[in-house]
Structure 1
Amino acid sequence: MDYQGKQVVIIGLGLTGLSCLDYFLSQGVTPKIVDTRKKPVGIDKLPPEIEVHVGSLNAQWLLEADLLVVSPGVAISTPEIKAAIDKGIEVVGDVELFCREVNQAKANIIAITGSNGKSTVTTLVGKMASSARIKTAVGGNIGLPVLSFLEDKYDLYVLELSSFQLETTSSLQAKSATILNISEDHLDRYSKNLDKYVEAKQRIYQNATVCIYHEGDIYTHPRHAKPDAKFIEFGEKGCAYRLDKIEGELWLIVENEPLIRCSEIKMTGRHNYLNALAAVALALSAGISKSVCIDTLKHFNGLPHRFQLVNEAHGIKWINDSKATNVGSVVAALDGLEISGTMHLLMGGDSKSANLMPLAPILRQNNKKVYCFGTDGELIHAISPENSNYYYTMEEAMFAARKNAKEGDWIILSPACASTDQFDNYEQRGRVFTEVSYKLA
């Protein structure tokens, strides 16, 4: 793409903003940068010739621009950006810039989104592709910013894409694409309108050759696919990619044939078995063999902070599911989970304006005790006051859970909320949970 002579403004620094800056400088274009933070991450890495405005959005710069490149953390509904859009100024993100380049190279892209499980599926597909000796780049919403991949030539790009990234992307032409699931998340960004969130996710299917979706989740069914696209369903009912029992054992059924026993997969839980089905469908669409898929599933341990066993002592298991930052993730992880003892659930943080009531059937079960904490912990406590208590911090909640836990019990951090009220991110929350679990064990 030719950006020569255009006035480009990058909104938001950090790793993504810096990758955009490097990209334009390589194109012979010197952009301006704005960031609402007074000391944004990466400002010390800027060349001296770059004009920077910090502390607010510079409305004049935005309205004078030919192209705005917006980082995912900045809402395009922000008044200054909305005014630029109304004026006809083009607004894109780094993924759009990347797609324009790789479309010219006719490279293959596997695109993955969803409310939950997308990092697991993205990583799993990347490992399958690498095991098949395909030169693969894995990134997007995890790992490296996508523009950094342009420095080398890859045969396959496996991209995790958030709704924020998809909002500013129109040139994605995925070989295969999936929405794994949809539950209420980031509704603070979407004015509490679930359909706006769903529509952002649905953009992943627009130019996809193969659309892969969850048959039991209507929000994942493609709305804007190409007329000649191929459709693949995965789920638990009569689709070709499904979970099914054979002689009492749960199997992954792929293309109506048994692929692997779920007991042979290192990841646990029905939600992860569904993730495995989606990953296999994506991998097969890229020409990866079933044997490679099977071998990868047998050795993949899952990702940190995703229903991860981090400690076991005195017959008590400590499970770090800090990545469960929304209601749907908690429901998916705990639905159908059976243990001999009691589940002590640690829940709370910033709910991001989500409806927490779908948690009620889980919280009110007899084998659950709930320890609520953080900004919206009291809202969770109110759902099942007879079965829960409120504590200000997660550490206080953990101390109470350990005091009550007995052999055969599980203490599970599955917060259903973002972490930013008390932690830097969900990773830090998970690390603190793990560290404190050893002190209390």
Structure 2
Amino acid sequence: MTVAGARGPGAAGGPRPPEGGTGTVCVAGLGVSGAAAARSLARSGRRVVVVESGDDERRRAAAAELAALGVEVRFGGGLPAEAGLVVTSPGWRPGNPLLAAAAARGVEVIGEVELAWRRRPEGAAPWLALTGTNGKTTAVRMLAAMLAAAGFRAAAVGNVGTPTVEAVEGPHDVLAVELSSFQLHWSSTLAPLAAAVLNVAADHLDWHGSMQEYARAKGRIFERAQVAVYNADDPWSSRLAAPYAGEAASPVWGPVTPGGARRAVGFTLGVPARGQLGVVEDVLVDRAFVDDPVEAAEELATLGDVRPFAPHNVANALAAAALARAYGVPAAAVRRGLLAYRPDPHRIAHIALIAGVDYVDDSKATNPHAAAASLAAYPSVVWVAGGLLKGADVDDLVRGAAGRLRGAVLLGTDRARIRQALARHAANVPVVEVAEQETGVMDRVVTEAARLASPGDTVLLAPAGASMDMFADYGARGDAFARAVHRLAATEAR
């Protein structure tokens, strides 16, 4: 088998569409993305009215900053009569009265990401975009690290924290863009150079209404991309990429070129077929962005380069590598980027080893799909779970993990649903329910988990639910767990 490599970066895809609307722009919501959109629009001379339903000190301070730019902020109220375009915050549902009024009047509604795409300057940095139910932030940061290792001026933006409408104005060669299903719902003209769907599993069904609508929102990322990167091990991701993987699709080898034809590139945890990235023994390899994918492959990295190691993190690394290779990043830079990458907190983070038991914080596992991936990384687990399930079912999660569960400690609003699933599919697993709602209850959770655990087990916080019933966010939940573990360690050391 010969070795070949990709050559040179691609270019931004798609023409620059018009910004949309005339006259006043209504920005719905005064959060991070809303404030960024308002600032960008005001700097370009558009008249901007921000409508905000909440009213507190933080919002008043943000309103004062915007007022200095000539932006009017209205607390409460509906769609301004003079609005010709609405830029909504991603979390606002289509049925919100203001957005419904805009639809009834024929006023276009877009999101901050769509605004950023329309406002990017001529010759702007191309986008390498990704979405998925889980792994988005990890993959986009891996991607940014790979791009930086190749010498490109790159930034991870979008749902990861930095508003895209600000990033497009910066001096970047390329942008690594993380997109949520909400952001994609409000986007219609995005044309990234390459786009990936990491995985799709039930989440945010209370917002989208059904699994089909949720998946459809995720799939919008492929509609105008030159390269569709899909997870060959994930049914929904593969299904969404199928229209771009037929006989009419162009060959997958070589770098992306400006105006190039559609391509579909898969990634898998198994041995890759032609046109895929995958794993051979302990090596991550590329059989897509090479000169001859029938006979050639290129080594990208080893499993030991993926940190923290877990199967789902290997999948994230392969997806990031596929996007990087679409831009022309050489194999050596893929590996350097993985080695330079530092995981964000609360993502399978090892906290302590106490009496032969490992304690791991994966508070970011806020849905069943993420929790399943986390549980699959450990052979013998005392599971700490619960929170807000957001309409998701947990039967498949519990059924799949039953063989590795040694106990479960449940907390939060929807803990009864997890207990019922455990009774159905893992009846022999001991379960402790912690009914208290105070955040200080994590000490009892950790104590009960330690009681159930034996040397060689892992006490794993992988909640499968959101945190807002008891904590400010998943980070606060993970911090509370870590503090409780450290207190337990101090007690055991006495």
Q: What TM-score, normalized by structure 2, do the two folds share?
A: 0.82
Residue 254 of structure 1 and its aligned partner are, at CA, apart by: 1.8
Tell me, yes or no, if the aligned pair for 2:152 and 2:173 is still in contact at 8 Å.
yes
Tell me if structure 2 keeps the 8 A contact 1:210–1:229. Answer: yes
Q: How far apart are residue 434 of structure 1 and its match?
A: 1.1
Q: Which residue of 2 aligns with 1:209?
A: 226
Structure-2 change in CA distance of 1:111 and 1:103 (3 Å): farther
Partner of 2:139: 121
Tell me, in whole angstroms, the C-alpha distance in 2 between the residues paired with 1:243 and 1:210: 17
Q: Which residue of the partner structure matches residue 239 of structure 1?
A: 273
Compute the displacement of 1:64 (Å).
4.4
Cα distance change of structure 1 residues 264 and 124 upon mapping to structure 2, 3 Å threshold: closer
Amino acid in structure 2 at the alignment position of 1:421: D
Q: 1:20 aligns with which of 29, 37, 41?
A: 37
Q: Residue in 2 aligned with 1:431?
A: 479
The equivalences for 1:255-294 within 5 A come to: 255=287, 256-294=297-335
Q: 1:60 to 1:209 in 2, by over 3 A?
A: closer
Instruction: Tell me the CA shift for residue 223 of structure 1.
Output: 5.8
| Residues 105-114 or 35-44, more deviating | 35-44
Tell me the alpha carbon deviations over residues 328-349 of structure 1, each in whole angstroms, 9 at most, x when there is no partner: 11112222x344xx41110000
Give 1:21 shift.
1.2
3-state DSSP class of the match of 2:351? strand
Q: Can you list the C-alpha shifts for 1:22-80, whole angstroms capped at 9, x where unaligned?
A: 111111122111122122744313216543332x4x3342x642111100121123243
**Residues 367 and 18 from structure 1, CA distance in 2 versus in 1: closer, same or farther, beyond 3 angstroms?**
closer
Counterpart position of 1:38: 55
In 2, Cα distance between the equivalents of 1:196 and 1:108? 28
Q: Which residue of 2 aligns with 1:355?
A: 393
Distance 1:19 1:364, change over 3 A: same
Going from structure 1 to structure 2, the CA distance change for 1:5 and 1:275 (only over 3 Å counts) comes to closer
Give 1:133-148 correspondences, 5 Å limit.
133-148=151-166
Q: Which has the higher contact order (CA 8 A, sep 6+)?
A: 2
SS of match in other structure, 2:229: strand
Residue in structure 1 matched with residue 72 of structure 2 by the alignment: 51
- Displacement of 1:132 in angstroms is 1.3
Secondary structure at the residue paired with 1:233?
A: strand
Give per-residue Cα distances to partners, 1:298-330, cap 9 Å, x unaligned. 343422111111222332211110110111111
Please give the residue correspondences for 1:10-409 in structure 2 after superposition, counting only pairs within 5 Å: 10-39=27-56, 41-46=58-63, 47=67, 49-54=70-75, 56=76, 58-61=77-80, 64-102=82-120, 104-191=122-209, 193-221=210-238, 222=241, 228-237=261-270, 238-240=272-274, 241-246=276-281, 250-255=282-287, 256-335=297-376, 337-339=377-379, 342-365=380-403, 367-385=405-423, 386=427, 387=429, 388-393=431-436, 395=442, 396-409=444-457
Give me the whole-angstrom Cα distance separating, in 2, the residues matched to 1:271 and 1:299.
19
SS state of the match for residue 27, structure 2?
strand
* Contact 2:121-2:169 within 8 A present in 1 as well: no
Distance 1:211 1:366, change over 3 A: closer
Over 3 Å counting, the alpha-carbon distance change for 1:79 and 1:405 in structure 2 is same
Gaps of 5+ in 2: 1-17, 250-260, 288-296, 490-494
AA at the equivalent of 1:381: R
> Alignment partner of 1:52: what SS?
strand
CA contact (8 A) 1:265 1:299 kept: no
Aligned CA distance change for structure 1 residues 365 and 76 (closer, same or farther; 3 Å)? same
Q: Which moved more, 1:260-269 or 1:14-23?
A: 260-269
Q: Which residue of 1 aligns with 2:13?
A: none
Identity over aligned residues, as a percent?
Answer: 29
- In the alignment, the residues of structure 1 paired with residue 371 and residue 463 of structure 2 have an alpha-carbon distance, to the nearest angstrom, of 7
Alpha-carbon distance in structure 1 between the residues aligned to 2:278 and 2:310: 12
Distance 2:56 2:364 in 1: 27
**Deviation at residue 366 of structure 1 after TM alignment:** 5.5
Contact between 1:211 and 1:232, CA under 8 Å: does it hold in 2?
Answer: yes
Relative distance call for 1:154 and 1:377 in structure 2 (3 A) is: same
Distance 1:60 1:203, change over 3 A: closer
Q: How many residues align?
A: 431
- Report if the CA contact (8 A) 1:13-1:43 is conserved: no
* Alpha-carbon distance in 1 for matches of 2:416, 2:62: 42
Deviations 1:211-234 (A, max 9, x none): 100112231132665963111011
Change (3 A) 1:135 1:264: closer
What's the C-alpha RMSD, in Å, of the aligned pairs?
2.2
Within 1, Cα distance between the matches of 2:392 and 2:404? Answer: 25
Asked whether the equivalents of residues 375 and 381 of structure 2 are also in contact (C-alpha less than 8 Å), the reply is: no
